[in-house]
Structure formats: C-alpha cells, structure tokens
Amino acid sequence: MSYLVVVAHPDDEVLGAGSTMYKLAQEGHSVNVCILSGEVNARNFRPATDELNEDVKTSMSILGVDRIITGDFPNIELNNVPHLKVVQFIEKAIIETNAEVVFTHHPADLNNDHLHTSLACQAAVRLFQRRDDVPPLKELLFMEIPSSTEWGLNKTFKQFSPNTFIEVGENGIDKKIEALAQYRGVMRDYPHPRSKEAIKGLAAYRGGQSGMVYAEAFESVFRRGF
C-alpha cells in the first residue's frame, strides 16, 4: 500500500502522523511526504536553509519515509496562491507516489496554511475519478496537529472529530518524538503542545479513548473498497 502525507510545513507530518508513518514503514508499506511550503521563511527560530533541509531528511529517515516532495509555496501566504496551482502540485505528488491513502490537515485548524492545504488536498484526491491511470483513492484522513488543531476557535467550522485510531505503542511515540526533535527550534518545554510530555500525553489519551497502548487519532472523511 502507498501512503502520502500532505502538509503545509516541515514538521507538520511528524506532529500529525509521525508514529503512524513509522508503523506503516515498519510493516513494509510505502510512506511518502509532500510539503508545500518547504522553506517556511516566516517561521520563528528557523535555522539556515541547508540546516532545515538536513533536519527534514534526518527526521524522515528515522520514520522510514521513502520520498519527500517539497514545494516552494510561500509560508503563511497560501491564501494568496491560486488554488489550482496548489491542487495540481498535490495531484503530481499523488501520481508520482501512486498514493492510495492520503493524510492531510483538518480544515478547522487555526493555521491558515493548514486550511488551504486541506482544501487543495480535498480537490486533488478526486484525481482518480478524472484519470484512469491513477490508482483509486482508498481513504482520505484528517490529522490533528498539536498547537494548531486544538486552537481551531472558529466555530463556523466543524471541529476535528476523530473516528479512526491507530495503535502505535510506546516505541512508536518515542520514534515520533525523536523525529520531531530533529527539527531545530520546533519543540518546546512543557506544558507547550509541542513538548515531549504533551505529545506523549496526547497519544496516551487517544489510546485510552480507543482501548489501545498509545495511539494517533484521525478523522476519516472518505473511504472506499476496504
């Protein structure tokens, strides 16, 4: 099975699905990542570009990612990019990775780039209906991004409502934290949502919700064929 994680910024993929990515890779599946705003020029505490690229590669290596597809869309300005350009970039990533299952942001996230990534991804995953040479999509899932999803305060949007839980175990969550720690300047001290204590606590809570030993939670919004 081929999986594609589509995110706005480097580190979103680890925050949203790092343990799941590691588990899928260990099971022999193809796991790939598409990052739209690869340079994140507006980020606080951003390292130099070569350091950031090194951080991405090291982090993805820990999780067993096969391929990283990076765009140069402007950070915190995706609302100013023509929607079609973002959709077509994601469509190309879907084709290149033969993606059958796609993970992306929840549209109610506080971060504006997350919203526009989600909207573009929702359009792009319909590609199999327009092209016979593209594998049919089996599932689209929304992720939760600590420090963004829980801050989705606009109640006109339907909030993140998990209905899919993937057991990752303590080793899986430790790998997630290790991968996230490769991103210089991203992790924070507790009680920040991007602290190791909060990340592990969220996985424990999601595991308790679902009767699992540590879990990542997702909202499945489209599923077919299995």
Edge to edge, the sheet with strand 30-35 lists: 67-70, 30-35, 2-7, 101-105, 139-143, 215-223, 164-167
pLDDT tens-digit series, residues 101-117: 999 999 999 999 999 99
- Average pLDDT for the chain: 96
Specify whether the CB–CB gap between 213 and 172 falls below 8 A. no
Residue 156 pLDDT? 86
Task: Please give the share of the chain, as a percent, with pLDDT higher than 70.
Answer: 99
Residue 155 pLDDT? 85
d(CA 221, CA 139): 8
Residue 188 pLDDT? 95
pLDDT tens-digit series, residues 41-62: 767 778 888 999 999 999 999 9
Tokens 């929840």 locate to 106
Specify whether the CB–CB gap between 213 and 207 falls below 8 A. yes
**Mean pLDDT, residues 73-89 taken together:** 96
- Which residue from 69, 222, 17, 32 is spatially nearest to 136, judged by alpha carbons? 222
d(CA 176, CA 34): 18
Q: What is the DSSP secondary structure assignment for residue 223, as one 8-state letter?
A: E
d(CA 137, CA 220): 13
Specify whether the CB–CB gap between 180 and 186 falls below 8 A. yes
Residue 151 pLDDT? 94
pLDDT tens-digit series, residues 134-162: 999 999 999 999 999 999 998 888 999 99
DSSP 67-116: EEEE-BPPTT-GGGS-HHHHHHHHHHHHHHHT-SEEEEE-TT-SSHHHHH
CATH topology of domain 2-221: Rossmann fold (3.40.50)
Q: Report whether pLDDT(226) > 80.
A: no
Question: Can you give the residue ranges of every domain in the chain?
Answer: 2-221
Residue 116 pLDDT? 98
The pTM assigned to this predicted structure is 0.96
pLDDT tens-digit series, residues 153-192: 988 889 999 999 999 999 999 999 999 999 999 999 999 9
Task: Please give the share of the chain, as a percent, with pLDDT higher than 90.
Answer: 91
Produce one character per residue of 1-25: b if its CB has 16 or more CB atoms within 10 Å, e if not. Answer: ebbbbbbbbbbbbbbbbbbbbbbbb
Residue 44 pLDDT? 72
Residue 175 pLDDT? 98
